[in-house]
Amino acid sequence: MYTNFAPNPATTVPDEIRDQRRRLENSRNYISTNHTVEVPAGRYQGVGGAVIEADLQVKFSQRRKQGSITEQEDVVALAAIARCAGHGCAEGEHQVPSTDPVLLSADADDASTAALVPLAAVRKWAQEHAETCRALPYTGH
């Protein structure tokens, strides 16, 4: 069961990438070049009542510049993760592998297209999990 409207990755992913670019330009020394931003991509409810959340992951990192020993370049890759909050759920987490990293300086709008693959994969898993997961909602005790 699909329970709410998820943000459109066509706008949220490029926005995150532009934000990171801006932050790096403004204060390179204070900003983590390696971090992951999670963007909600869907929320589902299992047949037992547990909530399953799907998130797109925008993964910022650095890699060594080709042909250089010392220079690094900023890259971004897209992945996704689904987490089931069911009490005692046997397969509570599903990680969708990252896309190939691309340069952070490349056109951010392309990222929305790249996001479609992990997005589709994570939503498919979350939906299938919701249809089969009999775990009860976690109540804190």
Which residues contact Zn ion by CB under 5 A? 84, 86, 89, 133, 135
**DSSP H or E run through 17:** helix 9-27
Q: Between 14 and 86, name the residue whose CB sits nearer to Zn ion.
A: 86
Cβ closer to Zn ion: 53 or 74? 53
Contact status, residue 125 vs residue 96, Cβ threshold 8 Å: yes
In this structure, what DSSP letter does residue 32 have? Answer: -
CB of 127 to Zn ion, least distance (A): 12
Residue 36 Cβ vs Zn ion, minimum distance, rounded to whole Å: 23
Please list, in sequence order, all residues whose beta carbon lies within 8 angstroms of the beta carbon of residue 33, skipping any fewer than 6 positions away: 24, 60, 61, 62, 72, 74
Which residue lies nearer to Zn ion by CB, 10 or 85? 85
- 69 φ, ψ (degrees, to nearest 5): -95, -30
Nearer to Zn ion, 54 or 75 (CB): 54
9 vs 46 by CB, closer to Zn ion: 46
**Closest distance to Zn ion from the beta carbon of 122 (Å):** 14
Strand positions, DSSP E, 46-133: 51-64, 72-84, 93-96, 102-103
d(CA 3, CA 135): 17
State in angstroms the smallest separation of the CB of 89 from Zn ion: 3
Min separation Cβ 85 and Zn ion, Å: 8
